[in-house]
Amino acid sequence: MSPYILHPRFKAQYDPNNQEFSISGVVRPQAIDELGPSLALLRDAISCVRGVLYVNVKRLTQMNNAAFHAFSRVIIDACRARPDLRFVVITSSVVGWTSRKFGRLSGIEPNVTVEEYDSEFYPGQGFLEEGGFVPILRTQTKMTWRHERAILPRHGMRPGIVMADICCGIGDFAVLVQKEFQPSRIVALDHSISSLDYARRVMREFDIRGIEYTYGDASEMLLDEAQFDLVTCRHSLQIFNRPELILKELYRICKPGGRVYITNEKNSHCLGEPRAESIRWTYNEVAKLFAHFEMDVELGPKSRRYLMEAGFEDIRVESFMVTNLDGDPQDFADVIEAWADVYAGEMAAKRGDGPEFVARFRQGFQDHIFAALHPKGYAGWPIWIASGRRPQ
């Protein structure tokens, strides 16, 4: 057991612009006086808001009954003194007890509602959390693994380490790493329940040990600080509208001296011969389509800047190209087919694209497949890998 660290383990804040009081961290006081300043802040907030006060407990990981009662009292008293005021408590679906516990308040005071903040993290989330993406992810990981298994040791991967894979999807990468490098522990986190169910089923069926799958939000993780030697986050920074927030979390859970490893794409650089022009046009459009949903699939080459700005040192960047020559060209073709389905299907429809555009858009994918399967053809999908060390 390590010595208990005495520092304030929670934080209360009030943001007048959003009329939002938030409390985060571990709140387990022995006596209520310890909460004095936070309770005063809540009372002050109540006295100056009009309409609705948001009480944000998304990042509240623990709160004992004594503290819960103290905060509840302030809210309940305010409801009685100011019937014009509404309280919206925002909990996280990730922290299991908060919705139940705070939910009791709405049973007591009708002016309190409790909302579980959940799915709408970023605009394009729906497309990627649906089960339809599973086959793409499988084949993609199979193709990228051929390259990454040789690259990973240059970025801190070695046997015995404790690692986390954030936005792990269906867990294929974690399983491959487990077999090849035998880390002592892998925590794999994702926000898709169906992907995690799939991953757990694979783990059971193949009797794989040492991987712990966990449901969570990459931008607000329940994981403790500074516990991993290596934190990986693959093909995912590029799907968040604010990647720097995720990177901050990756930094937080990484040990000082440990590394954070990210992979990202630059879709407009997908290429093929023959039919290069049509392919190029379509992938330029892919980048624009994602941008429309506030996702930056051009992020790859920006990784270095993101890592520097997040405070990492000893930053290493490299890139590789998955091609139709890597293994079975049909695998490459399958991945493109799946991209076409989602991008020229659901996503284009959602943006409101007309049939003419969609036909041309689709054609580029067909041409990419044509290049991949052509006996003299060449088709590529470039990936950028970057890692940085958290300073000691």
Partner 1 sequence: MGSVHHEPAGGPTFEPLIQVDMEIKTFVSAWQHCDYVSTYMARMISQKRSDSVRHSNLFSSAFNELLEVAFRTRHAEGELACRVSRQGATDRIELTIPCVPEERQFYQEAVAQVAGFEARERYLNSVSGDLAPSREVVLLELAVDYNATLRVEEAEGDAIKLVVDLPLEGLQH
> Residues interacting with ligand SAM, by CB under 6 A?
121, 125, 128-129, 137, 140-141, 167-169, 173, 190-192, 195, 217-219, 234-236, 239
Q: Binding residues for partner 1, per CB under 8 A?
A: 1, 4, 6, 26, 28, 30, 32, 61-62, 64-66, 68-70, 72-73, 76, 93-97, 100-101, 104-105, 107-109, 187, 189, 193, 196, 200, 212-216, 222-223
Helices 134-151 and 193-205: crossing angle in degrees, nearest 10, is: 60
CB of 207 to partner 1, least distance (A): 14
Place of tokens 């339809």: 132
Contact between 141 and 322 (Cβ < 8 Å): no
Q: Which is nearer to ligand SAM, 171 or 364 (CB)?
A: 171
Q: Which residue is nearest to ligand SAM (CB)?
A: 169
95: partner contacted, choices partner 1, ligand SAM, none (Cβ within 5-8 A by kind) = partner 1
Contact between 168 and 134 (Cβ < 8 Å): no
CB of 108 to partner 1, least distance (A): 5
26: partner contacted, choices ligand SAM, partner 1, none (Cβ within 5-8 A by kind) = partner 1
Cα separation, 218 vs 122, whole angstroms: 12
Contact between 312 and 251 (Cβ < 8 Å): yes
236: partner contacted, choices partner 1, ligand SAM, none (Cβ within 5-8 A by kind) = ligand SAM
Q: Which is nearer to ligand SAM, 245 or 276 (CB)?
A: 245
Q: Which is nearer to partner 1, 93 or 319 (CB)?
A: 93
CB of 174 to ligand SAM, least distance (A): 9
347: partner contacted, choices partner 1, ligand SAM, none (Cβ within 5-8 A by kind) = none
150: partner contacted, choices partner 1, ligand SAM, none (Cβ within 5-8 A by kind) = none
Q: Residue 251: which residues within 8 A CB-CB, separation 6 or more? A: 260, 310, 311, 312, 390
Q: Which is nearer to partner 1, 103 or 301 (CB)?
A: 103
Please list the alpha-helical segments (H only) found in the chain: 36-48, 65-81, 96-108, 125-129, 134-151, 172-181, 193-205, 243-253, 276-292, 303-309, 329-340, 348-351, 355-373
Residue 163 CA, distance from chain mean position:
16
Q: Which is nearer to partner 1, 176 or 223 (CB)?
A: 223
Q: Which is nearer to partner 1, 191 or 389 (CB)?
A: 191
61: partner contacted, choices ligand SAM, partner 1, none (Cβ within 5-8 A by kind) = partner 1
Q: Which is nearer to partner 1, 105 or 246 (CB)?
A: 105
CB of 171 to ligand SAM, least distance (A): 9
Q: What are phi and psi of 280, to 5 degrees?
A: -60, -45
SS3 339: helix
Q: Are strands 211-215 and 112-117 parallel, antiparallel or unpaired?
A: unpaired
Cα separation, 317 vs 88, whole angstroms: 44
CB of 191 to ligand SAM, least distance (A): 4
Cα separation, 355 vs 344, whole angstroms: 10
Cα separation, 157 vs 386, whole angstroms: 13
Q: Which is nearer to partner 1, 1 or 81 (CB)?
A: 1
Cα separation, 326 vs 336, whole angstroms: 15
CB of 144 to ligand SAM, least distance (A): 7
Q: Are strands 52-56 and 228-234 parallel, antiparallel or unpaired?
A: unpaired
192: partner contacted, choices partner 1, ligand SAM, none (Cβ within 5-8 A by kind) = ligand SAM
